[in-house]
Amino acid sequence: MEMRGVRGVRLAIAAYLRSELPGHIEAAQLAWGLTAEELPVPVASSDPREDAYFAREVEALDRWPLIAVASGRLTSRPSDFTDDFDEVYRSVLPVRVFAWSRAEGRAQVQDMRDDFANVVRACLLADPQLGTAGDLLLSPETMVIDPSRPDKVKGERWIAGAYIGFDVVVGETLTDRLAHPGQQPRDTVSTVTASAATLIADQ
């Protein structure tokens, strides 16, 4: 992918979960004998007022269930060149996907929290390239789930969250338009992007 750093990674992962997670939750409901109330599906919508998938940490929890993608410090090193001599960087960054749930009752929200986080984990592991055809590569051996304690919010309503943490390897191309702004483009436009999987294999 063209070099866009941590925001590009967060956007790609949020888009992947928005597309794929609802189907994984419905499959888990069937496999585990759960109702839609016990394991609800986050709303995926083109309307930002309804969408429950965020490519950043949220300021307020105002919809349920909710997914938010956050990232840590990115580290990079040059690793390759495209056919047009654009430099390709191998970048690594830690990602946290926050999965928030709300239910009536402390025990119920803990069960929902754990099931929801586990389905998010399964969805991510189902496609380690995260829908990017190789620009991103999740490192399964780095994955952790860390649940939060339940908090009572109103009446018998409780909220609880967990984060699913993992490292992502990114293949980023420093294209001419970013490296040499204002200059004429080269005669040949690059159509080759090194995949993260190839970058790992070449180490």
Please give the distance of CA 99 from its chain centroid, rounded to a whole number. Answer: 11
Domain boundaries, the chain: 5-201
Specify whether the CB–CB gap between 84 and 190 falls below 8 A: yes
CA quadruple 32, 61, 136, 83: dihedral sign: positive
| Residue, of 187 and 11, whose pLDDT is higher | 11
Give the type of residue at 131.
G
pLDDT tens, position by position, 126-170: 999 999 988 999 999 999 999 999 999 988 899 999 999 999 999
Mean pLDDT of the chain: 87
Q: Specify the residue for token string 């269930």.
A: 65
pLDDT tens, position by position, 133-143: 889 999 999 99
- Is the per-residue pLDDT at 200 higher than 50? no
Token code pair at residue 114: 């754990």
- Is the per-residue pLDDT at 179 higher than 70? no
Of the listed ranges 21-30, 107-116, 184-193, the one predicted with least confidence: 184-193
Report pLDDT for 176: 54
The predicted model scores a pTM of 0.84
Residues 6+ apart with CB under 8 A from 173: 1, 2, 3, 82, 86, 87, 88, 89, 190, 193, 194
What three-state secondary structure class fits 77? strand
